[in-house]
Amino acid sequence: MAKIAPNLTGVPETMLWTLHNRAGEARRLDGILRDPKVVEIYDALDYDYEGSFGKAEPTHAIRAVFFDKELRAFLKDHPDGVIVNLGEGLETQRFRVEGDEALWLSVDLPEAIAIRERFIAPDERHRHLVMSALDRTWFDAVPGGRAVYITAQGLLMYLAPEDVESLLRDIAARFPKARFCFDHIPEWLSKKTIKGWKKGRDYFTPKMPWGINQCDVAPTLRKWVAVERVETFPYRFERGLQALIYNGLMGVEWTRNRSPGMTRLRFV
């Protein structure tokens, strides 16, 4: 069967970066992610992953596992809840997290949804909304009277800081008590991408204008919106020397504050 050329550029191409890392982990016998669908998609695309991104690493699988746990806990309490995934790309979370009564909304750009639908078909409970996450009309697709969990994996760092602030303000105003989970990069890494970060042999990452140190996440969010609670977590590796060194460094406040992280919050 002929492979499919994704023909993606800019920020949408980064979905192949996360696909590469998740598939690499899913292939391992000792991997932390069990996901046959991500391997299926990975193998079906005609793309030089290592030329662009280098060897697969577990970072995006760690992130996926964290978000999976969040949604499982949410659906346990709210089986008929609404999950909104902003900038979902080729994330295959719906195949890993059970939720037969839930409504899943995937919001992404036209070129991203087009490649997603080559492998993942929408249906009555899994809707694809073709638009930017900054286009507030996706708000209208969220039914009232149901608990809401909004996620943004690998998205907010590509937005201007003022766009992140205004989006969160509008979400908080429209969806009181909603949960929101996102990942973020530190300031130094944001600056590196703006100067030009060559990730692999043939690939420069898009600019990531919004960088924030972990110690600044909670106070910044509380300045922007009213939150009931906010918690930030560092990445934690599961095996080998990398886990020993990196996880040890996360016990040092200075290092942890200047590392990528994940934050969950609940609006008032």
Confidence grade of residue 98 (pLDDT, cut at 50, 70, 90):
confident
Going along the chain from its start, the domains and CATH numbers come out as 62-267 (3.40.50.150)
Question: Which one, of 199, 193, 167, lies nearest residue 18 by Cα?
Answer: 199
pLDDT tens readout for residues 202-246: 899 999 999 999 999 999 999 999 999 999 999 999 999 989 999
Mean pLDDT (the chain, rounded): 97
Instruction: Give pairs for 114-121: CB < 8 Å, separation 24+.
Output: 115/4, 115/6, 115/8, 115/15, 115/90, 116/88, 116/89, 116/90, 118/4, 119/37, 119/40, 119/41, 119/44, 119/90, 120/37, 120/90, 120/92, 120/94
CB atoms closer than 10 angstroms to residue 248 = 10
pLDDT tens, position by position, 189-201: 999 999 999 999 9
CB contact at 8 A, 19 and 35:
no
Distances 155 to 67, 73, 86, 116 between C-alpha atoms, Å: 14, 23, 7, 16
Confidence band of 185 (pLDDT split at 50, 70, 90) = very high
Burial grade of 12 (CB within 10 A; 0-12, 13-18, 19 or more): buried
* Spatial distance between the Cα atoms of 107 and 113, rounded to a whole number of angstroms: 8
H helix count then E strand count, the chain: 11, 9
CA–CA dist 141, 143 (Å, integer): 6
